[in-house]
Amino acid sequence: METKSVDKTLSKDHSVDAKRRKLLMLAALGGGATALGGLSWLYQKNNQPQAALIGNSVGFNQQFHSVVADWQGNPIFQIPLPERAHGVAISQMSTMGFTDAVAFARRPGSYFQVFDYNTGEKKQLIQAEGNRHFYGHGVFSLDGQYLLATQGIQETSQGLIGVYDVNNGYKKVDEWHGIGIGPHEIIRLNNGSYAVGVGGVHTYGREPLNLDTMQPTLTRLDSQGNITCQVGLADKKLSIRHLGYDQHDLILCGQQYRGEPDDYPSLIAMQKGDGELTLLNAEPEEWAMFNHYIASIAVVDDYVLATSPPGNCYGIWSISQNKLLELNPLPDASGVVAHQGRFYVSSGSGEVVTRKPINEIQHHNSKVRWDNHWNAIPS
């Protein structure tokens, strides 16, 4: 297969937060919304567009929302949130019988907000207990009976999975302990088991306290929360955070590097079954473009796409070749999902990229300042 050459023209900038905020503020997004009892109708046609994607947004003047959008990122509903959110869990109507989605507060988060993605109706707002916080991610169980959320104990950052009963108003009914410090993203695998990216970082607020003793892992749990596999990387400064899944048995994990600023190790690894983690390859100067952080990962056939908001870019790898094929600029590149052989990529600048792995690239302006992650509504 002929592959495209890697674009190495992206500029390096270690002033991550300042650069990212400047890009967001300069993005020409425009547009407003009319609020209707906590629900904003943002986009209308003669026929209502198909609700396909859900993500969170960062607005001006500290306005935060969950946004239900079509495949081009055009917003359909906007659900106001009390604080900035991170990830979203989505129920599957065809197998679970309901249309709830849940937005999780950014770590260390104090809440999750439940809403109906078919109507935009706000439902329960669940607060974390006094000595617990949320890490920004969660997932529904295979039967839809429970919502599972990554959480931590405030004083120690010891991780746990909070288990919430959907049919009982999202009341917390259990906790799964023993997975390690700082769990971040949890995903459900096709057999009803789970994978968790455990970052290993103890924090006070968002300030890291234990960088010299970190123990990050990729952890697999059975459907009852028992640990079935736990593996790490040789470089313990690679905090395992975000996960991708090929819908078979390949899990990919994206890392945040907490080591020396001038070191540029591989930021993505993959695990087949219960095997060890294998690093994805790229040159150090290519990894430098990702600015030590991977936000979202998706898989289409043999191809992996990963985004980096602080790096303002996304990359595409071949799994079988373990080779970086493309490295492309995208200001504040954020969420990515895979659907019917295509990648759908969001950004904090409002730009949305729709593409096949190696061709047919389309760009759209969604007028939404997308933040970190996208999730596709299951069919």
- Whether residue 93 is contained in a domain is answered as yes
264-322 pLDDT, tens per residue? 999 999 999 999 999 999 999 999 999 999 999 999 999 999 999 999 999 999 999 99
Residue-wise pLDDT tens digits, 110-140? 999 999 999 999 999 999 998 999 999 999 9
Examine the pLDDT at 354 and tell me if it is beyond 90: yes
Q: Which residue has the higher pLDDT, 360 or 9?
A: 360
Pairwise pLDDT comparison (35 vs 377), residue with the higher score: 377
Is residue 85, in this structure, part of any structural domain at all?
yes
* pLDDT band of 59, cuts 50, 70, 90: confident
**At 379, is the pLDDT very low, low, confident or very high (cuts 50, 70, 90)?**
confident
Q: What is the pLDDT of residue 6?
A: 41
- Residue 192 in this model has a pLDDT that exceeds 90: yes
Give the pLDDT mean for 34-53: 56
What average pLDDT does range 70-92 have in this prediction? 97
Confidence bin at 24 (pLDDT 50/70/90) = very low
- SS3 of the chain: the string is CCCCCCCCCCCCCCCHHHHHHHHHHHCCCCCCCEEECCEEECCCCCCCCCCCEEEEEECCCCCEEEEEECCCCCEEEEEEECCCEEEEEECCHHHHCCCEEEEEECCCECEEEEEECCCCCEEEEEECCCCEEEEEEEEECCCCCEEEEEEEECCCCEEEEEEEEHHHCCEEEEEEEEEEECEEEEEECCCCCEEEEECCCCEECCEECCCCCCCCEEEEECCCCCEEEEECCCCCCEEEEEEEECCCCEEEEEEEECCCCCCCCCCEEEEECCCCCEECCCCHHHHHCCCCECCCEEEECCEEEEEECCCCEEEEEECCCCEEEEEEECCCEEEEEEECCEEEEEECCCEEEEECCCCCCEEEECCCCEEEEEEECCC
Q: What does the pLDDT average to over 229-244?
A: 97
Query: What's the pTM value of the predicted model, to 2 decimals?
Result: 0.88
Label residue 49 by pLDDT band (50, 70, 90).
confident
23 in any annotated domain: no
21 or 54, higher pLDDT? 54
pLDDT at 243: 98
Q: What is the pLDDT of residue 47?
A: 63
The reply to whether 25 falls in a domain is: no
Q: How many domains does the chain have?
A: 1
Question: Is residue 328 included in any domain, yes or no?
Answer: no
Does residue 13 fall inside a structural domain? no
Range of the domain at 127: 65-232
Mean pLDDT calculated for residue range 155-176:
97
Query: CATH code at 189?
Result: 2.130.10.10
pLDDT-based confidence at residue 236 (cuts at 50, 70, 90): very high
Give the per-residue pLDDT at 11: 39
